[in-house]
Chain A
Amino acid sequence: MEHLQAMRGLAPKDFKSDTKPVWCPGCGHFSVLAAITKALAELSLPREQVAVVSGIGCSSRIPAYTSVYGFHGVHGRALPTATGLKLARPDMTVLVTGGDGDGFSIGGNHFLHACRRNVDMTYIVMDNQVYGMTKGQASPTTDAEWDGSKLTPDGPCIEPFPPLKIALAAGANFIARGSSSDPNDLARLIVDGVRHPGFSVIQVLSPCVTFRPEQKEWKKKVRTACVDYTDDPARAARRLMTDDGFNFGKVLFKGTRPAFVPECSDVPCAIPELESGFAV
Chain B
Amino acid sequence: MLERFVSLAVAGSGGAGVVTTGNLLLDAAARVGWYAYMTRSAGPQIRGGEAAAMIRLGSAPADAHDDHYDLLVAADWESAGRFAAELPLGATSIVLGDPRAGERPPFLVDAPARMLDLPMTALADEIPGGRANMVALGAIAELIGLPDEPLLAAIRHAIGAKGEAAVEASVASLRAGRSAVPDIPDFPRLEPRPAAPGMRWNISGNEATGLGALRGGVRFVAAYPITPATEVLEWMAHGLPRVGGALVQAEDELASINQIVGASYGGVPSLTATSGPGLALMTESLGLAVAAEVPVVVVNVMRGGPSTGIPTKSEQADLNIACYGLHGDAPHLVLAPHSVADCLMTTQWAVHLAESLQTAAIVLTDQATGQARAVIERPAELAFIGQRVVPESVAGYERYALTVNGVSPMAIPGMAGGEYTADGLEHSPSGTPSSQAADHQAQLDKRLRKIAGYNYGEHWAEIDGDADPDVALLTWGSCTGPCREAMARLRAQGWRVRLVAPRLIAPALPGPMAEALAGAPRLLVVEQSHGAQFLRYLRAHYDLPGEVRSLHQPGPLPVRPGTIVARVTNWS
Contacts and interface: CB of A to CB of B under 8 A. Distances in A.
A271 B421 contact: no
A125 to B, nearest CB: 17
Given A279-B201, A280-B31, A92 B414 contact: yes
B387 interface: no
Given A72-B424, A262-B248, A88 B198 contact: no
Interface string B239-271: 101111111101110111111111111111010
Given A48-B419, A113-B255, A279-B378, A274 B424 contact: no
Interface of A: 17, 19, 46-49, 51, 53, 61, 63-64, 66-74, 76-77, 80-89, 91-92, 109-110, 112-113, 262-265, 268-271, 273-275, 278-280
Contacts of A61: 433
Given A64-B433, A271-B214, A109 B30 contact: no
A279 B197 CA distance: 8
A89 B414 CA distance: 9
Contact of A280 (B201, B265, B288): B201
B391 to A, nearest CB: 12
13 contacts: A46-B416, A48-B417, A48-B418, A70-B422, A71-B262, A73-B288, A74-B288, A80-B250, A80-B251, A80-B262, A81-B261, A85-B262, A85-B263
Given A48-B416, A67-B419, A263-B241, A88 B266 contact: yes
Given A69-B413, A274-B239, 8 more contacts: A51-B266, A69-B420, A72-B425, A73-B292, A83-B262, A84-B266, A268-B244, A278-B211
B141 to A, nearest CB: 17
A61 B425 CA distance: 10
Contacts of B131: none
Contact of A80 (B27, B215, B245, B259): B259
Nearest to B381: A272
A48 B270 contact: no
The winner among A17, A63, A275, A278 for most chain B CB atoms within 10 A is A278
B252 A109 contact: yes
B415 interface: yes
A113 B224 CA distance: 13
Contact of A278 (B202, B251, B263, B265): B202
B242 A74 contact: no
The winner among B201, B202, B266, B288 for most chain A CB atoms within 10 A is B266
A268 B265 CA distance: 23
A202 B246 CA distance: 28
B200 interface: yes
Contacts of A112: 251
A223 to B, nearest CB: 36
Given A88-B246, A92-B414, A263-B246, A73 B266 contact: no
A91 B414 contact: yes
Chain A to chain B: the 8 pairs with minimum beta-carbon distance, closest first: A84-B262, A70-B421, A268-B244, A84-B259, A88-B263, A280-B30, A80-B258, A84-B263
Contacts of B247: 262
B266 A89 contact: yes
B501 interface: no
Nearest to A78: B258
B227 interface: no
B243 A274 contact: yes
B267 A113 contact: no
A109 B251 contact: yes
A102 to B, nearest CB: 13
A269 B197 CA distance: 22
Interface in B199-239: 199-203, 207, 211, 214-215, 219-220, 222, 239
Interface string B24-46: 00010011000000000000000
A109 B256 CA distance: 13
Contacts of A110: 251, 254-255
Contacts of A83: 248, 255, 259, 262
Interface in B151-190: none
B284 interface: yes
Nearest to A262: B246
